[in-house]
A and B are shown apart, each in its own frame.
Chain A
């Protein structure tokens, strides 16, 4: 049986994903520091509205309100045991909204990072991480999510653990990482390295890509690097609506709907097939993005110069891919051992 996302991808050149979850919920009155996932139970009406706003703005798929619904994050709110329940409800509400949309809309069960550090210097082991992800995945599956969607990951180890958990639950999935540190993930993975990681998985995702990170320009550079590897796998672009700025005691993202519309078209031209926003991306941004994707003709793959001109400059000189001679390197004086 083909999953809903693969089916939709086979009939369309591009799909539009959703925008911000957190930014939208804060606007609905979520207090900072509260777990948004509790609202699945206490304010289901607001979560339905969050989903419906995205659908009505033209999203073909939306992510469920379950980003932090894993035992490692929920334990900070003394709710470690609620991961599966809160995930299930997030997906149930999503199913309800998607089924009432009147067109095919995919419910993607959001799975966020554990917030723990894995790998040689970390405290979270592989088996434990798989268990944490599987609990969330099981809840999302029960609630009727079409696919699972792991996002904002920095560590290769964590991406592997999520993939294994999804395989155990026998669920189709997508996965994105955040490239926010000199073009790499916080843990140092390059966009090129991520493509290799994805293709080497025993259960590769339906689509993969980048979300969040710095601004729309940096995200576009990452997408161009993905495309340059020649991968056939659908690429996901979910960039922030610009960069947050502090004005008169309030936070604004500087990306306008017009800028996000340009970004959406550039992402499509760069080769992304699933295009959405992340932090700061509101329904009005999504509407502008959808309109642009539908009306503007497909152009050539943009160059970095075109991207910088349209969306602003990059946060670092290169994104660390390839072995460009300009990449910074340290001269070692002593001898390497070990």
Chain B
């Protein structure tokens, strides 16, 4: 009933508008203005002028808002490569903003300046090869500089993770949360098989591989400051994407194709809180690093949060010790499994 009212009201409104418009048009015709007398009217100058107004208001708005928005951006990158990519980002931004600004000066002032005048003729200027060569080459040079510097950074970030000082963390995306697994005392993350996944063994850990017995699966990510942290990323149902905004880390999690990303965290959670407190940020004491999902994965895509804690190496060692292996928490489950050469394995692990 309401919708019917809305629809009727809408139609009547449009009809009324049409009538008003028709009347205005007829008045114009009655006045003898057939719309072709002058090539342009006063609206030509107004439109030209509005581009200038838009330019001034627009750039004033950008200048004003950019200042106040900047304080809400993410804090300084908490990883080594992030500091470099951030710098590159702001350099690129400065360059393109300059281009944006300069081209718009011409684009928005020329219309008013060169608006139609009956007694003037436009300047016949079909081409100028020199000019075109110049504005082909200059962007090419600027872009080359940006690309080469970007390529260097990219190659470093994507280089194979160093073997020494390395901490490996397995991250698995599933609908709709992240799960993580650490290697445990043997420093080797055990093998998995997606066929072994069930309600209990959500990683599909294959206990034929003895490396699995000391693996543990905490509810939050811990990593030591200054170490080479290698994320081994996988997904078990659909695509997900690991996104750690504070570390400038992102990598898709792909079912059937493990991916990885390594980086060096540079700021512990405590240090970051201290820094934010010094900057006077609200809730600085409650600050936590976070991981999100950036590849649409279904209904609760927006809620795949996991907390990240960066410790000092000492704190991290302590935390490692406090963790209980998944096996120790699920002994009954594992003992029921029919494992190849089970006696041997249990013997090794006793």
Q: Real complex partners, A and B?
A: no
A interface, CB within 8 angstroms of B: none
